[in-house]
């Protein structure tokens, strides 16, 4: 059973969404309003703040708008960085899981071969006749890709052509930006394709595992048959 990928401590936490211009204005005036009007309720303070904002000069509003815009840009930058690191972390973890499963499979196959060799060792001198060759299990099916990686595969070549010599990390950022701009309907296409790949992968794994079991059973059957003939 696959273990859950560990959380990368180097990946920063997702920051709070920055306030818009109006809420920045509210933060600046709320304390003074509350101090000058201690009897006002929260809703009354809200109405008074809204009135002050509506009466505020456009140039002063632009100050808050620019401040909000800068905070939003910084928020987007951090968010983009987090998304990129999360994708890299996910890819690294998937590669580790694939490698672990591959190693386990290799160990299992090696153990089966070693057991067969050990079982046939005492009869080696009596088995001069040609033995049927051992059927090697088929290559293990590759793990299916998720919707994002299917999308990345579909746009990577075009982006590389449009940006010759682009660094891999920058290319990943561009792919992430394109993905984030897709509508839910457009993303749905890749989700459907990913589900099809997952279904094919599950079916291929069943056949692969059945082949392993059949190879092991056939090997034992051939070994027992040879032993019976030797006894005769």
In the DSSP assignment, the letter for residue 141 is P
The structure tokens 């990345």 sit at 152
pLDDT at 97: 72
Burial class (CB in 10 A: 0-12, 13-18, 19+), 3: exposed
Split at pLDDT 50, 70, 90, the class of 83 is: confident
CA 88 to chain centre: 8
Angle at 63 between CA 57 and CA 65, to 5 degrees: 100
pLDDT at 2: 45
b/e string for 99-131 if b means 16 or more Cβ within 10 A?
eeeeeeeeeeeeebeeebeeebeeeeeeeeeee
> Domains in the chain and their CATH numbers?
11-94 (1.10.30.10), 146-226 (1.10.30.10)
Residues 22-69: pLDDT tens digits? 999 999 999 999 999 899 899 999 999 999 999 999 999 999 999 999
Task: Calculate the CA dihedral of residues 145, 147, 148, 149 and round it to 10 degrees.
Answer: 20
The structure tokens 């019976």 sit at 228
3/18: higher pLDDT: 18
Cα 176 to Cα 219: distance, rounded to the nearest angstrom = 50
Under 8 Å between Cβ of 138 and 198: no
Cα 87 to Cα 149: distance, rounded to the nearest angstrom = 10
**On the CB side of 94, how many CA atoms lie within 13 Å of its CA?**
12
97 Cβ partners below 8 Å, 6+ apart? 2, 5, 143
Q: The pTM is what?
A: 0.39
The structure tokens 């040609």 sit at 130
Mean pLDDT rounded to a whole number for the chain: 78
């Amino acid at each position: 059973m696959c273990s859950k990928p560990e959380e990368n401590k180097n990946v920063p936490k997702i920051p709070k969404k920055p306030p818009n211009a109006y809420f920045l204005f509210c933060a600046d005036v709320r304390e003074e309003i509350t101090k000058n009007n201690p009897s006002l309720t929260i809703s009354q303070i809200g109405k008074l703040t809204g009135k002050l904002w509506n009466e505020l000069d456009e140039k002063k509003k632009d100050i808050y708008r620019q401040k909000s815009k800068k905070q939003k840009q910084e928020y987007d930058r951090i968010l983009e960085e987090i998304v990129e690191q999360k994708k890299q972390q996910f890819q690294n973890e998937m590669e580790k899981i694939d490698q672990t499963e591959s190693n386990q499979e290799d160990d299992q196959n090696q153990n089966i071969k070693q057991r067969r060799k050990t079982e046939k060792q005492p009869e080696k001198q009596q088995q001069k006749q040609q033995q049927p060759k051992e059927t090697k299990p088929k290559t293990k099916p590759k793990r299916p890709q998720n919707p994002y990686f299917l999308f990345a595969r579909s746009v990577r070549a075009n982006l590389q052509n449009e940006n010759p010599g682009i660094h891999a990390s920058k290319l990943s950022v561009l792919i992430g930006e394109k993905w984030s701009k897709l509508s839910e309907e457009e993303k749905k296409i890749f989700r459907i394709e990913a589900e099809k790949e997952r279904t094919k992968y599950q079916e291929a794994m069943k056949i692969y595992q059945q082949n392993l079991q059949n190879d092991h059973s056939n090997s034992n059957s051939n070994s027992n048959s040879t032993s019976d003939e030797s006894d005769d």
